[in-house]
Amino acid sequence: MDEKHEIKKIYYLLCGIDKSVSESSNERFVSDLLCDRFNNLLNLLKDKINDDTLDFFLIEKIETQGRHLTIGEMKNHICPIIEYLKNFFIENGEYQVSKIGYLYNSIEDGDIKARCGDILLGEGPYDRAINQATQILEDRIKNKANLKDTNLIGTALVSKAIHSNSDETILKFSDKADVQLGYSNLFKGLVSIYRNPTHHTLSFKCSREYALKVCCYIDELLKLVEQSEIIE
């Protein structure tokens, strides 16, 4: 495991300790075990990034004078370290570029890459990528269901093409009634949540990462549309 992954591992382990401390609402003090784990992780981190200033945050026995550390005192030790790692190692530019590249490269559909790629890899606003991805999905459903000449759009189109009742649907995703219902609700829900707000308003705000995740999900849904059975 390389150094970056080791630092990320330490970060998430520290977040776990912080969560344990935060959820100890019925306890006033922190166990020696958690304090020792924190010190061990901090020493490991210090060796990884060669930063002796981290010694300042180690929990010393003399500090507690023989008593257990309070939750508030523990927070004073752990929160600055988590913020430090978050700002300098977890959410820095290089890491974000790596994460964005990984998400983007997982997209397989050519239309999504062609119509959304410049937006996702640009400066935003990123809701435009969701706008385009949902438009691609809508067009793909319309074509698969042979509804190219219809005036139906959005939820009305999806309701007709992917009906909850297998006997009335044009595109069948499953022979099981409850699963077909699930797919119908899934596609209608996605249209309501993502397509309509990004097509009819400018109020839908999102980060690049959020838009990428939605586009990746739609990429998978396009495969399901392609695999669906046309009911004549």
What are the pLDDT digits (tens) for 141-170? 999 999 988 888 888 999 999 999 989 999
pLDDT at 105: 83
Exposure string over 136-145, b if 16+ CB within 10 A, otherwise e: bbbebbbebb
d(CA 163, CA 173): 10
Q: Look at residue 174 and tell me whether its pLDDT is greater than 70.
A: yes
CA dihedral over 172, 176, 181, 183, signed as positive or negative:
negative
Confidence class for position 62, pLDDT limits 50, 70, 90: very low
Mean pLDDT score, 131-150: 94
Nearest CA-CA partner of 212 in 93, 92, 113, 140: 113
- DSSP, collapsed to helix, strand or coil, labels residue 183 as helix
Confidence class for position 70, pLDDT limits 50, 70, 90: confident
Strand 29-30 and strand 69-70: the pairing is antiparallel
Confidence class for position 61, pLDDT limits 50, 70, 90: low
Question: Using alpha carbons only, how large is the chain's radius of gyration in Å?
Answer: 25
